[in-house]
Amino acid sequence: MAINRKSSPGSENDLTLSFNNGELSILENAVKHLGFKDEESLLRYFLAVISKSGTRTLTVIDKEGRSLPLNPSPTLLKEDMAKAAQGS
pTM: 0.70
Residue 10: the pLDDT is 65
Percent of the chain exceeding pLDDT 70 equals 86
Query: 39, 28 in Cβ contact below 8 A?
Result: yes
pLDDT of 60 strictly over 70: yes
Q: How far apart are CA 58 and CA 50, in angstroms?
A: 8
pLDDT of 4 strictly over 60: yes
Kindly state the average pLDDT of the residues 13-36: 88
Per-residue confidence band for 8, with pLDDT thresholds at 50, 70 and 90: low
Kindly state the average pLDDT of the residues 46-59: 88
Q: How far apart are CA 11 and CA 73, in angstroms?
A: 34
Residue 83: the pLDDT is 74
